C-alpha cells in the first residue's frame, strides 16, 4: 500500500494528466459548477450563444467590449483550439436567464472566463438582444452535434477528496502555527497569546508563495487578529478544495487573509459580497471604512463598489456623520465621477466648500485648489453663478481660481459650443461633462403603487425615515395606492442646461411598463419587466446635443440601488430575468427617478 503522501502525489498526477484528454466513449453531462461556460443554441457544438454558470443558474454575456481575446479564453476553457470569430445579433433562441457578464476584459492568457476583469456579476445595462455568440476553432473537421465529443471531467470529486485529505490530516508534513494576541497580560506582564495549530500538506501549500513551503521548511507562524482565528481553518481548506462557504460575519476576515496570502480571485469574489451590506449603514461609517480597507488591500473591485455607492448616494453622504471624516483621496475619487448623483452642481460646490472649511488648516491651499478645481463650474445653473462671490466661504482665498472657472461657466451659458471650441475649450474637457442632476426640471419620479380593487383606492402610512436625499416621496407621510396614476407622466425640459437654450423646450413622456400587453400598446417589444420608457414628444434639430438619460432605482425612498442608461428610449429597471441589482433592496420596493441629461458632443 502506498504511503499517504505518495497517494496524494499519484492522485494529483492522474488529475493533471487526465485534464489533457477528451473522451468520446461517453456522452454524459456532469452537474454544472461555478464558472462553467457553454455554447448554446446551435447544431454545431463549436458555435453558439456564450453562457456562464453562476449562483446556481446559467446566464449570458453582453457583447459590449467583447473581443477576440475574450473569445480565445472562452474557447480554450471549452477545450477547443481557439476562437475563429465573434457573432453578434444572431438569434440562438430564447435566453431566459440573467445577463451575468458585461464589459468583460480578458488579456487572452486566462484559463477561465470568470477570472477576467468585468463589472460584477449581473451588473449590466444590456438586454438579451446584445448577447454575444462565438464560433470556436476545431481544426479542419466541423463536428456535428450528433457526433459530438464530450469532456469526461470528474474534477468536482477531486475537490471533495482533497477536502477529506485535509480534514483527516493523513500524511500532513507542514505545521502552521496561528498566533493571536488576546489583549490580556500574563502574570509576568507579557502579552497573552491564543495559539492554534494546523497540520497541512507541503505539496498543496507550495502553490502559495507566502507559505514558503520549500524543501527543508516544515513549519510557519502566522499572526492573525483574534476574531479572525476561527476562520483560518476554512481558509486553508479552501486552498485544497477551491470551495468555501462565506457569511457576512466571516467575509472581512477571509477577504483580509486572501489579500495577505495573494489569492486574488478569492479576494475579489468576497469583495463583491460587501455590496450586499453597503446600504445597511445610513451613517456611512462602514462604507468609508470598507473603502479605506480596499485601498490598503489593493482590492480594486471592492474599492469601486464603495466609491460607486457613495457617488450614487452623494447627497445622503454629505449629510451623514462620516462626511467630515472623508479622506482627500476618497473625496477626489468621488469628484472625478460622472455618475455622481446630486440635485445640481451648485450643491456639489457647496458640499466641497463645507468639507474644506470643516477641515480648516489641516488641508493645505494646494489640495484645496485641486479639489475645488474638480467642480465642473460650467454645469452650475446660471442663476447660482451670480451668488458665488458673495456666498462662498473660500472665494477670497482662491479668488483667481474662482474667477477663471466662473468666466468659463458664463461663456458656456452665452456661447454655442462651436464658439467655445474655437477658444480651446475642448469637448474632452470634463468641465463640460454633466453628472446626474436631479433638480427640477431635469427629473421626475414614477412609482409602482399597490394594486387595489377597481372600486376603491386607499392610502397607507410611510415610515418617515424612508427618504431619499432628505426628501419624502410625496413630501408628506402617506402615499396613495392608485396603481396607474404615478407610473406615467409628461414633463418638459430645456433642450440643454446652457442659458442660451433656456426657452427651447423639449417635451417628454415617461412610462413604467409592467407586461407584454402594455409594451405592445406602446409599440415596443420588451424582454423583461418592469421596463422604463422615455420618449421625446417633439423634434428639435440640435446636432451638437446628445441626451444620455437614465433611470435611478431608489429603494424604499432611502438610497439609490441601481442606475440604468436608456437605450433606444428603453431601460430595464428592476432585479428581473436580465438584471441583478448592484445593491440589494428588500422587497423590491422602488421609486423610479427619470433623469434627463443633455450634453454637447
- pLDDT tens digit sequence for 140-149: 544 444 555 5
Rounded to whole angstroms, what are the CA distances from 104 to 78, 80, 157, 274? 18, 20, 30, 21
Distance between CA atoms of residues 442 and 493, nearest Å: 6
What is the mean pLDDT of the segment spanning 136-165? 68
Residue, of 601 and 379, whose pLDDT is higher: 379
| Percent of the chain predicted with pLDDT > 90 | 49
Query: Tell me, what's the pLDDT at 413?
Result: 84
Nearest to 446 by CA among 342, 595, 307, 308: 595
Query: Tell me, what's the pLDDT at 595?
Result: 97
Q: Which of 150-154, 160-164, 257-261, 366-370 has the lowest mean pLDDT?
A: 150-154
189: left (phi over 0), alpha (psi -120 to 50) or beta: left
E runs forming strands in 151-256: 174-185, 191-200, 219-223
Q: Which of 259-273, 317-331, 478-492 has the lowest mean pLDDT?
A: 478-492
Distance between CA atoms of residues 485 and 495, nearest Å: 27
Tell me whether strands 174-185 and 99-101 are parallel, antiparallel or unpaired: unpaired
What is the mean pLDDT of the segment spanning 341-360? 95
560: left (phi over 0), alpha (psi -120 to 50) or beta: beta
Residue 156 confidence (pLDDT) above 70: no
**DSSP calls for 483-495:** SSTTSEEEEEEES
Nearest to 288 by CA among 253, 267, 317, 257: 317
Residue 241 confidence (pLDDT) above 50: yes
Query: Tell me, what's the pLDDT at 34?
Result: 85
Residue 255 confidence (pLDDT) above 80: yes
| pTM, two decimal places | 0.72
What is the mean pLDDT of the segment spanning 143-160? 61
Could you give phi then psi for residue 549, rounded to 5 degrees? -85, 155
- Band (pLDDT 50/70/90 cuts) for residue 22 is very low
Task: Name the one residue in this structure whose C-alpha cell is 457583447.
Answer: 63
**Range 275-306 burial, b when 16+ CB lie within 10 A, else e:** bebbbeeeebebbbebbebbbebebebbbbbb
Nearest to 246 by CA among 261, 258, 234: 234
What is the mean pLDDT of the segment spanning 181-201? 92
Distance between CA atoms of residues 152 and 329, nearest Å: 51
Out of 166-170, 316-320, 421-425, the most confident range is: 316-320
What is the mean pLDDT of the segment spanning 110-125? 86
Dihedral of alpha carbons 140, 146, 151, 156, sign:
positive
Nearest to 576 by CA among 93, 96, 130, 103: 96
Query: Tell me, what's the pLDDT at 461?
Result: 37
Residue 376 confidence (pLDDT) above 90: yes
Residue 110 confidence (pLDDT) above 70: yes
| CB half-sphere exposure, 214, CA atoms < 13 A | 3
pLDDT, the chain, mean: 82
Distance between CA atoms of residues 289 and 297, nearest Å: 12
Cβ neighbours of residue 555 under 8 Å, at least 6 residues apart? Answer: 279, 561, 583, 585, 586, 589, 590
Residue 204 confidence (pLDDT) above 70: yes
Cβ contact 490:535 at 8 Å:
no
What is the mean pLDDT of the segment spanning 409-413? 87
Cβ contact 596:549 at 8 Å:
yes
**DSSP calls for 1-51:** ---HHHHHHHHHHHHHHHTT--B-S---PPPP-TT-EEEES-SBTTEEEEE
**Beta bridge pairs of residue 191:** 185
Measure the CA angle with vertex 509, ends 427 and 475; round to 5°.
95
Residue 127 confidence (pLDDT) above 90: no
**DSSP calls for 67-121:** -HHHHHHHHHHTT-SEEEEEEES---S---S-EEE-S-B--S--SSGGGSB-S-T
Cβ neighbours of residue 386 under 8 Å, at least 6 residues apart? Answer: none
CB count within 10 Å of CB 446 equals 20
What is the mean pLDDT of the segment spanning 27-56? 84
Helices (H) and strands (E) in the chain, counts: 18, 23
Distance between CA atoms of residues 563 and 277, nearest Å: 18
Residue 569 confidence (pLDDT) above 90: yes
Residue 52 confidence (pLDDT) above 90: yes
Write out the H or E segment, with its range, that includes residue 132.
strand 132-137
| Percent of the chain predicted with pLDDT > 70 | 83
Residue 277 confidence (pLDDT) above 90: no
CB count within 10 Å of CB 189 equals 6
What is the mean pLDDT of the segment spanning 206-225? 87
Residue 439 confidence (pLDDT) above 60: yes
Distance between CA atoms of residues 164 and 319, nearest Å: 52
Query: Tell me, what's the pLDDT at 456?
Result: 38
Residue 507 confidence (pLDDT) above 80: yes
Query: Tell me, what's the pLDDT at 149?
Result: 52
Rounded to whole angstroms, what are the CA distances from 34 to 67, 109, 243, 497? 23, 20, 10, 47
Nearest to 377 by CA among 367, 392, 363, 362: 392
- Band (pLDDT 50/70/90 cuts) for residue 530 is confident
Query: Tell me, what's the pLDDT at 423?
Result: 54
What is the mean pLDDT of the segment spanning 509-515? 92
What is the mean pLDDT of the segment spanning 425-430? 62
What is the mean pLDDT of the segment spanning 48-62? 92
CB count within 10 Å of CB 594 equals 26
Amino acid at each position: 500500500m502506498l504511503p499517504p503522501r505518495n497517494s496524494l502525489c499519484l492522485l494529483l498526477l492522474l488529475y493533471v494528466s487526465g485534464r489533457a484528454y477528451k473522451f468520446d466513449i461517453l456522452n454524459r453531462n456532469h452537474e454544472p459548477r461555478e464558472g462553467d461556460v457553454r455554447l448554446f443554441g446551435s447544431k454545431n457544438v463549436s458555435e453558439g450563444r456564450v453562457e456562464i454558470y453562476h449562483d446556481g443558474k446559467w446566464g449570458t454575456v453582453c457583447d459590449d467590449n467583447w473581443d477576440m481575446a475574450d473569445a480565445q479564453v472562452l474557447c480554450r476553457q471549452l477545450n477547443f483550439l481557439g476562437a475563429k470569430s465573434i457573432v453578434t445579433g444572431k438569434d440562438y433562441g430564447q435566453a431566459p436567464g440573467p445577463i451575468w457578464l458585461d464589459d468583460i476584459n480578458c488579456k487572452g492568457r486566462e484559463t477561465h472566463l470568470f477570472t477576467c476583469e468585468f463589472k460584477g456579476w449581473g451588473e449590466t445595462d444590456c438586454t438579451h438582444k446584445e448577447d454575444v455568440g462565438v464560433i470556436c476553432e476545431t481544426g479542419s473537421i466541423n463536428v456535428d452535434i450528433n457526433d459530438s465529443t464530450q469532456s469526461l471531467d470528474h474534477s468536482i470529486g477531486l475537490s471533495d477528496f482533497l477536502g477529506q485529505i485535509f480534514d483527516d490530516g493523513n500524511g500532513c508534513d507542514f505545521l502552521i502555527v496561528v498566533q493571536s494576541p488576546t489583549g490580556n497580560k500574563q502574570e509576568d506582564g507579557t502579552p497573552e497569546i491564543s495559539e492554534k495549530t494546523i497540520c497541512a500538506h507541503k505539496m498543496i501549500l507550495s502553490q502559495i508563495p507566502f507559505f514558503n513551503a520549500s524543501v527543508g521548511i516544515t513549519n510557519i507562524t502566522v499572526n492573525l487578529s483574534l476574531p479572525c482565528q476561527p476562520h483560518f481553518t476554512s481558509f486553508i481548506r479552501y486552498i485544497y478544495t477551491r470551495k468555501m462557504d462565506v457569511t457576512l460575519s466571516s467575509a472581512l476576515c477571509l477577504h483580509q487573509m486572501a489579500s495577505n496570502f495573494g489569492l486574488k480571485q478569492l479576494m475579489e469574489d468576497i469583495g463583491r459580497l460587501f455590496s450586499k451590506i453597503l446600504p445597511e449603514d445610513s451613517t456611512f461609517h462602514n462604507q468609508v471604512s470598507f473603502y479605506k480597507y480596499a485601498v490598503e488591500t489593493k482590492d480594486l473591485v471592492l474599492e469601486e463598489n464603495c466609491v460607486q455607492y457613495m457617488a450614487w448616494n452623494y447627497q445622503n453622504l454629505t449629510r451623514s456623520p462620516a462626511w467630515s471624516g472623508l479622506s482627500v483621496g476618497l473625496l477626489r475619487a468621488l469628484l472625478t465621477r460622472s455618475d455622481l448623483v446630486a440635485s445640481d452642481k451648485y450643491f456639489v460646490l457647496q458640499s466641497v466648500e463645507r468639507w474644506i472649511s470643516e477641515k480648516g488648516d489641516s488641508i493645505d491651499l494646494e489640495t484645496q485648489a485641486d479639489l475645488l478645481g474638480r467642480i465642473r463650474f460650467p454645469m452650475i445653473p446660471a442663476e447660482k453663478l451670480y451668488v458665488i462671490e458673495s456666498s462662498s466661504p473660500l472665494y477670497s482665498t482662491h479668488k483667481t481660481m474662482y474667477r477663471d472657472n466662473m468666466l468659463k461657466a458664463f461663456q458656456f451659458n452665452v456661447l454655442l459650443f462651436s464658439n467655445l471650441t474655437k477658444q480651446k475649450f475642448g469637448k474632452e474637457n470634463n468641465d463640460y461633462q454633466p453628472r446626474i442632476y436631479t433638480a427640477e426640471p431635469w427629473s421626475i419620479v414614477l412609482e409602482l403603487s399597490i394594486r387595489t380593487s377597481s372600486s376603491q383606492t386607499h392610502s397607507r402610512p410611510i415610515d418617515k425615515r424612508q427618504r431619499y436625499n432628505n426628501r419624502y416621496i410625496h413630501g408628506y407621510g402617506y402615499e396613495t395606492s392608485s396603481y396607474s396614476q404615478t407610473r406615467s407622466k409628461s414633463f418638459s425640459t430645456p433642450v440643454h442646461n446652457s442659458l442660451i437654450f433656456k426657452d427651447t423646450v423639449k417635451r417628454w413622456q415617461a412610462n413604467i411598463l409592467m407586461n407584454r400587453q402594455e409594451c405592445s400598446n406602446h409599440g415596443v417589444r420588451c424582454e423583461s419587466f418592469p421596463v422604463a420608457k422615455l420618449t421625446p414628444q417633439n423634434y428639435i434639430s440640435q446636432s451638437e446635443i446628445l441626451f444620455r438619460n437614465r433611470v435611478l432605482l431608489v429603494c424604499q425612498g432611502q438610497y439609490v440601488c441601481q442606475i440604468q442608461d436608456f437605450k433606444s428610449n428603453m431601460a430595464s429597471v428592476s432585479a428581473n430575468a436580465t438584471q441583478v441589482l448592484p445593491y440589494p433592496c428588500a422587497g423590491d420596493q422602488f421609486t423610479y427617478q427619470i433623469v434627463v441629461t443633455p450634453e454637447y458632443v
